[in-house]
Structure 1
């Protein structure tokens, strides 16, 4: 994810990193080259003049823009929901550690709960991205906890279970009053809700047919557009086609990128940075040194 101050309006025109231009450049150049060819041939294909004007493109372009707006709005809604869920992970882990420190009679036991919650955050990130959590789990957990997690398919859910077992053990030992248990169970339940919400977003993409319809329509529109403009604007046809193609290709690429907010593309959520921040704040609450975690430069950029 790219986070940086908004540049000057002139620099904004030439921003490369973080834009979708690198992804759409090949098809944009191909469309522009085809428009140049159509302009040179003046809309003729094997001596046959293709009889098109700008009227149908105005109607189709309006419909396509509405459709793209709906697709991008849906994609951004998924992106923002994912960010909201990760915000709740931060809030609820803080609340649970705070309650353990202030409500339990044995604060010396709180670091065990804290590292299990930190491990949950990292395990959630790895599950959503399909990466291996072994390095983070080995860094955080005891050998006993790691052995228990080794065979688990859904490690974040298992770590929440282990956090709940910590609460049960302290209640059985009398370190936590039974009347206070429901208050501490509430953040655990909300963490379970956040886990389920993230899994839902990751496993349920926008129906594929939306992408197919938009993709086909955009390419047909951009390929036929030079034939409808060449008689009206002549040599300016490639310029206008390039501009319109950039708009449609970029909106399509942006919608596809935001649809999967847990990925590693420049505009996806900065899960590494958020995981590191959650770990840092939880360790600070229990008085432990905060680790210095440097996020990958291609995944979180702050300038």
Structure 2
């Protein structure tokens, strides 16, 4: 995710990190070359392309803008919902850790080990959710926080974060049977586990349910057709300004279209997608610090304005 301050007005025109231009420059180049060729033909052979009037393309542009605006809003809602869910995960992880450390006595080795196990599994869950959403192997990040006896079952699980959540539920049941905390506290802890499970399920819903393909295809086709038809209708009235005008319009429409695609899947590693690595690292640092550990990993800092 891009986490820079608003650049200087002059630098806005040259900022590429986080910009959509690197992804749409082939389309921009195509429209610019086509517009230039049509302008040259019109210059050397006048009246090659009749004057169609601006009204037709204005109406088409308004209709296309509505389609792109609707899709962009739908994609942004998915992105924002995903960010709210990860904010909820941070809240649940900190709350569960506070409850574990506050209500389980640490005056003996068994109590301290129980606290550590629950907190470490919470950290492992956060890392596992990130890797599941990004389709990357989670073992390097979660093995240090899961006891060796559970490694085989974790490797065999098809849904690793769900498997870790079941381990946390099992340990919570052991805490109840051993009478380490009251029934009310157990219920509160279980509510935190349920909330974390809801976060996982909601993130999987967003990840596995894209916007309808037919709608995306309609917007793609309409955008290409409009930008390719545009220079034929403008060249008679704009002359040599046609390539510039068409390039700016193509940048707007193709940019909105591509940005919507990027925001539609908020869990990836693209510049405008969510910084899940930084969020899961924050959870790890906060929870290990709550345990009193001092050998903590460093915060993930932005590199050239990009936070992974």
Confirm or deny a common fold (TM above 0.5). Answer: yes
Q: Aligned residue for 2:274?
A: 269
1:1-49 deviation line (CA, Å, top 9, x unaligned): 110111111111211111000000111011100000011111999x964
Q: Is the 8 A contact 2:234 2:242 kept in 1?
A: yes
* Distance in 1 (alpha carbons) for counterparts of 2:119 and 2:44: 71
* Distance in 1 (alpha carbons) for counterparts of 2:188 and 2:166: 17
Q: Does 1:176 align with 2:152?
A: no
Gaps of 5+ in 2: none
**Structure 2 counterpart of 1:245, from 243, 250, 258:** 250
**Structure 2 counterpart of 1:143, from 144, 148, 151:** 148
CA offset at residue 105 of structure 1? 2.8
Q: Aligned residue for 1:69?
A: 69
Aligned residues: 301
Moved more, 30-39 or 130-139: 130-139
CA offset at residue 137 of structure 1? 2.1
TM-score by length of structure 1 reads: 0.94
* Distance in 2 (alpha carbons) for counterparts of 1:236 and 1:299: 35
Q: Aligned residue for 1:52?
A: 52
Structure 1 vs Structure 2 CA RMSD:
2.0
Residue correspondence of structure 1 range 96-135 to structure 2 within 5 A:
96-106=96-106, 107-108=111-112, 109-135=114-140
Q: Aligned residue for 1:292?
A: 298
Q: Is the 8 A contact 1:266 1:299 kept in 2?
A: no
Residue correspondence of structure 1 range 32-43 to structure 2 within 5 A:
32-42=32-42
For the structure 1 residues 37 and 21, does the alpha-carbon distance in structure 2 shift closer, same or farther, using more than 3 Å as the test?
Answer: same
Q: Aligned residue for 2:209?
A: 204
Gaps of 5+ in 1: none
Residue correspondence of structure 1 range 15-30 to structure 2 within 5 A:
15-30=15-30
* Distance in 1 (alpha carbons) for counterparts of 2:82 and 2:137: 21
Q: Aligned residue for 1:281?
A: 286
Q: Does 1:160 align with 2:160?
A: no
Q: Is the 8 A contact 1:4 1:301 kept in 2?
A: no
Q: Is the 8 A contact 2:128 2:160 kept in 1?
A: yes
1:144-169 deviation line (CA, Å, top 9, x unaligned): 12122111001111111111111111
* Distance in 2 (alpha carbons) for counterparts of 1:163 and 1:114: 9
Secondary structure of 1:2's aligned partner: coil
